[in-house]
Amino acid sequence: MDFTYTPAQNELAKRVAEFAAEKIAPHRQEQDRAGTYRPDLIADMAAVDLFALRIPEQYGGLGLDVVSAGIALERLAAADLAVCFPVLNAALVGGVLADNGTPEQRAAWLPPIARGEAVVALALTEPDHGTDAAGIRMSAEADGDGWVLTGEKTSIMIAAHATHALVFARTGGDGPRGISAFYIPLDDARIHRERLTDLGCRAGGRGRIVLDGVRIGRGELVGEPGGGFAAVMRGFGVSRAYIALMAIAVGNAALDEAYAHATRRTAFGQPLGRFQSVAFPLVEHTTLLHAARLVAYEALCTADRGEDPRIPSNMAKWWAPKAAVEATHQALLTMGHLGWSEDGPVAQRLRDVIGLQLADGTAAATKLTVARLVLGREYAP
């Protein structure tokens, strides 16, 4: 088993880390306080091709493998978790469009995503349907040569920043086979958006999107009617591993701050790191994050081989955010009042990373997926 990056992946890791240190990390706390991205952020990220990672080369993207996108997201998250979501969505939504769109749709939709001109949201969750995504009620009624969409989506990350959304609506009967996907611009006057107030990732612009009888053409349907739910679930097989890596990066960044603090701060005449009660918990959390990271990269490597990544991906998704929250909490405790202060380096990270325990599926939902894959649906919850 080879854990080394290719030369191209090493170069990508270096390039994204340098970009994050220069353009992302210095603005992390100011963006959190302002509750929005700085004005030039999207353009800066587009200039280094962060939205093009997984877009096929023929549509202006880099056409990189799944592992490479994970490498990039890990470096970004270490600098500021909140900026990862437009990049994550470009990879996830771009993948759904590339796999399910017609040649004409791909040619029209993918190049603007790669250039950062189309900032895309994934509009699946509804007020009464989060984990139970197959139960969504937003309607898409066939009407002449198009569709009319009516309903509400909520808890949509980057809703406040997005120019387009992949919207899931019911075109048929109950259950997952009645759900279709539509790729639509968000500049229609009958689309209303509201930013939500969050514990963490405040700059990310999570919000509500309400569609009030929005008419779209037939060409906005992605794939076949009734195929939307299956398409996004296939995408989650990879994106859940990406989210695991983002969580791990936050936890490791917090632990790095705690280790540095343990060498600088003295108590009772010696550095804090000399006390087992300080050093050993940090080592334990470092070990758990390291192990979770290997599971996440196993999932991405599996996907790159063309095999089903869902078991390791869902394992990583339920475990890594939990481990990262606990590691970041320990870092805060290690740093004492400096950790507790919002002016310190870890309090915001703890608020931010908690949200990844919900994103793209809760621990219960991802454990259920693993149980059904291992036991078979007839023997699983």
Q: What is the pLDDT of residues 308-360, one digit of tens each?
A: 999 999 999 999 999 999 999 999 999 999 999 999 999 999 999 999 999 99
Pairing of β 139-143 and β 146-156: antiparallel
Answer whether residue 132 shows pLDDT above 80: yes
Confidence class of residue 155 from pLDDT cuts 50, 70 and 90?
A: very high
Q: What is the pLDDT of residue 192?
A: 98
Q: What is the pLDDT of residue 305?
A: 96
C-alpha pair distances (Å), 103 with each of 99, 148, 317: 10, 24, 33
Answer whether residue 6 shows pLDDT above 80: yes
The pLDDT of 203-221, averaged and rounded, is 97
Q: What is the pLDDT of residue 231?
A: 93
pLDDT tens digit sequence for 161-201: 999 999 999 999 999 999 999 999 999 999 999 999 999 99
Angle 66-79/7-19 helices, nearest 10 degrees?
20
Written as six digits, the tokens of 375 are 């036991």
pLDDT tens digit sequence for 21-71: 999 999 999 999 999 999 999 999 999 999 999 999 999 999 999 999 999
DSSP letters of 264-329?
H-EETTEEGGGSHHHHHHHHHHHHHHHHHHHHHHHHHHHHHTTS--HHHHHHHHHHHHHHHHHHHH
Angle 363-375/310-335 helices, nearest 10 degrees?
150
pLDDT tens digit sequence for 98-122: 999 999 999 999 999 999 999 999 9
The torsion angles phi and psi of 121, rounded to 5 degrees, stand at -110, 155
Answer whether residue 366 shows pLDDT above 80: yes
Question: Mapping DSSP to helix (H, G, I), strand (E, B) and coil, where does residue 345 land?
Answer: coil
Q: What is the pLDDT of residue 82?
A: 98
Alpha-carbon gap, residue 345 to 250, rounded angstroms: 11
Q: What is the pLDDT of residue 3?
A: 85
Answer whether residue 130 shows pLDDT above 90: no
Q: What is the pLDDT of residue 286?
A: 98
**For residues 156 and 208, is the Cβ–Cβ distance under 8 A?**
yes
Q: What is the pLDDT of residue 2?
A: 83
The pLDDT of 227-237, averaged and rounded, is 93
Alpha-carbon gap, residue 30 to 37, rounded angstroms: 9
Angle 84-100/228-264 helices, nearest 10 degrees?
150
pLDDT over 90 percentage in the chain: 97
Confidence class of residue 1 from pLDDT cuts 50, 70 and 90?
A: confident
Residue 30 CB neighbour total at 10 angstroms: 10
Residue 102 CB neighbour total at 10 angstroms: 13
Q: Rounded mean pLDDT of the chain? A: 97
Taking the model in full, what pTM does it have?
0.97
Written as six digits, the tokens of 52 are 């093009």
Q: What is the pLDDT of residue 133?
A: 86
Pairing of β 270-271 and β 266-267: antiparallel
Residue type present at position 206: R
